[in-house]
A = this chain, B = another copy of it.
């Protein structure tokens, strides 16, 4: 479960150590150690990966986790976290942490948000208090958190935005990215990625990427996908970006996704992923296994004494039966959340680790095909007619 040991290099160094087609295997160095890519990052919204302690997160083989800037800014507050020595020290996680910019939540969670050229004004979803995120402010918050990989404030539109609106969003995203870079020059503690926007318009995506590359970032995030668009549109845009983005920098597809989403995106050269899917589904009783998805609530598991996934080596699968997991879930026992989360995250981390090995051994297509066979319904989405 432990990652390979690497010579530590300057934070921001990305070593591309293998390719299979366009799929990449690499090593990204940060101030809290190196990350083997492709990687999946468990989401630790408000300073804990829901239901899991740091020893659980280590045990499942996570190499990096994600913290949400919006949530941590509101509670407990980034100043308070800074006075504790940063998020690593506060939550006792000693490996890398990536933080988002908070902009997405400021738009989606808070009421009465208002965007101007200077940033986003919003009301807290907790107590209604007024706040303002500017490009400089979100950098300052993420520095307070001690983030290893920071995101600039960006404008993320939903699916269906007009080309004109999408072009405007790209322009503002670039302006804000430049302001974030100015507030956090190369060599500052913590890497800063640029976020490519452009909705589902490949030529806007390309323009966005080139503008960000002119500014120069330690890596490139791809935002505003998996927001409701058909899967083939997402893939089309990822394929358009692949030849544009620099090979020597890591690429992060924000908020994605299902196992197949991730495997398809890896095939277009993406290195990093995060999503609440494994932990949220764990809490809803939907579990990923080597035989496909299992809804642990179902009566058919009431007397099933087999492990959830005989091929999985997580604590849950090593220890308990489906019958017990079903009982915990239908009885609404707190332990269900932890055991299910341990398993689902192990599944996602095993998958990206397997993908990395397959890339290094030149058999990625075959590896991916195995997963496609497991999720036949989901795969149909990739063949949907373009719209």
Contacts and interface: CB of A to CB of B under 8 A. Distances in A.
B337 A75 contact: no
Given A76-B327, A327-B76, A338-B338, A333 B48 contact: yes
- Identical copies of this chain, number: 2
B319 A48 contact: no
Interface in A158-201: none
A304 to B, nearest CB: 10
B323 A54 contact: no
A61 to B, nearest CB: 18
B84 A48 contact: no
A53 B315 CA distance: 10
A222 to B, nearest CB: 29
A52 B335 contact: yes
A335 B50 CA distance: 7
B53 A83 contact: no
Given A54-B319, A92-B319, A303-B80, A75 B335 contact: no
Q: Which of A47, A75, A305, A324 has the most CB of B within 10 A?
A: A324
A168 B385 CA distance: 78
A235 interface: no
A330 interface: yes
Nearest to A327: B76
Given A83-B303, A323-B84, A331 B90 contact: no
A334 interface: yes
Contacts of A346: none
A334 B338 contact: yes
Given A80-B302, A92-B319, A319-B54, A47 B338 contact: no
A92 B320 contact: yes
Interface in A305-328: 305, 315, 319-321, 323-324, 327-328
Contacts of A305: 84
Contact of A339 (B46, B53, B320, B324): B53
Interface in A75-125: 75-76, 80, 83-84, 90-92
B75 A327 contact: yes
A145 to B, nearest CB: 13
Interface in A364-380: none
A334 B80 contact: no
A318 to B, nearest CB: 10
Nearest to A305: B84
A166 to B, nearest CB: 35
Nearest to A339: B53
26 contacts: A46-B331, A46-B333, A47-B327, A47-B333, A48-B328, A48-B333, A48-B334, A48-B335, A50-B335, A51-B335, A53-B315, A53-B319, A53-B338, A53-B339, A75-B331, A76-B302, A76-B331, A84-B321, A84-B323, A84-B324, A90-B321, A90-B323, A91-B324, A92-B324, A334-B337, A334-B338
Given A46-B333, A84-B323, 10 more contacts: A46-B331, A47-B328, A51-B335, A53-B335, A53-B338, A53-B339, A54-B319, A75-B327, A76-B331, A90-B323
